[in-house]
Amino acid sequence: MGDVVRVTLGEDGVAEVCLNRPERKNAWTMEMFDALAGAAEGLSRERGLRAVILCGAGGCFSSGLDLSVLQGFAADIEGLKREILTPPEGEAANRFQKPCTAWAALPVPVIAAVEGVAYGAGLQLALAADFRIAAPDARLSVMEAKWGLIPDMGISQFLPRLMRADQAKDLIMSARVVGAEEALALGLVTRLAADPVAAAREMAAELALRSPDALTAAKRLVEAGWVLPTGEGLALEARLQADILGGANQIEAVMAAMAGRAPRYR
């Protein structure tokens, strides 16, 4: 996936996916779009994967779309609509959306460590994570309105779960920049930390102590159950519980807790 996205997978099953264009504040090129989607696809095949951390090199998460990409689009609007905005046959997400939606589709927890800025595409990537840990001086913005556009990288799937519709419209229509404290109050970030990457690593290590079956089911429960009617939501949680109850990893969680030792999951 080249140098623009760096992927490392530790022995503990925690992967770090780092946007790696620090000289451009990790602005997105089309190469980065494809590299991020490819990274998610590759990690989805790692059987020992326990968690993923998304971060940016050089102390900055991402300043959003590189202006050269916008300039390239202007030369061929119809080609853009045909090749970029139209999803491949049989798929829901297009080439713009997949670098974000692919992380939400992973069955393991995904943590975004937000330093510096998360603008436009960068913020939409962070929103695709299950958790966002931001530095106290981080700045965030749904930037697309500045260019006469709407955010179109999966934000319709992520933002409604985090904030009220009027708050979302404010951010999307105004393109204003919010500080970390306001982002926390709005629900854009999970919590603040002086060193978001270190905090994300600590969180990932803690989550790795839980049954992978329970974490996968928990992620699905919230992602699907939050928008289901009452009866369907109750049925979903009962079905997910039935799938893990009495399984090897659930029994191991109980045995390890009773013995006061670290669990050894399959």
The model's pLDDT over 243-261, given as tens digits with 9 standing for 90+, comes to 999 999 999 999 999 999 9
Instruction: List, in sequence order, every residue forming a beta bridge with 15; answer none if it has no partner.
Output: 9, 52
Confidence at residue 2, expressed as pLDDT on a 0 to 100 scale: 58
Amino acid in the structure at residue 173: M
Q: Given the DSSP bridges, would you call strands 131-134 and 139-141 parallel, antiparallel or unpaired?
A: unpaired
As a whole number of angstroms, the longest Cα–Cα distance in the chain is: 65
Q: Are 216 and 51 in contact (CB under 8 A)?
A: no
Looking at per-residue confidence, does 8 or 227 come out higher?
A: 8
Q: Alpha-carbon distance 126 to 175, whole Å?
A: 16
- Tens digit of pLDDT for each residue in 40-85? 999 999 999 999 999 999 999 999 999 887 777 767 788 777 778 8
Backbone angles phi, psi at 223, to 5 degrees: -60, -40
The pLDDT of 17-43, averaged and rounded, is: 96
What is the Cα–Cα distance from 71 to 147, expressed in whole angstroms? Answer: 12
Instruction: Give the H or E element holding residue 238.
Output: helix 230-244
Q: pLDDT by residue (tens digit) across 198-241?
A: 999 999 999 999 999 999 999 999 999 888 898 999 999 999 99
**Could you tell me the two tokens for 13?**
């099953």
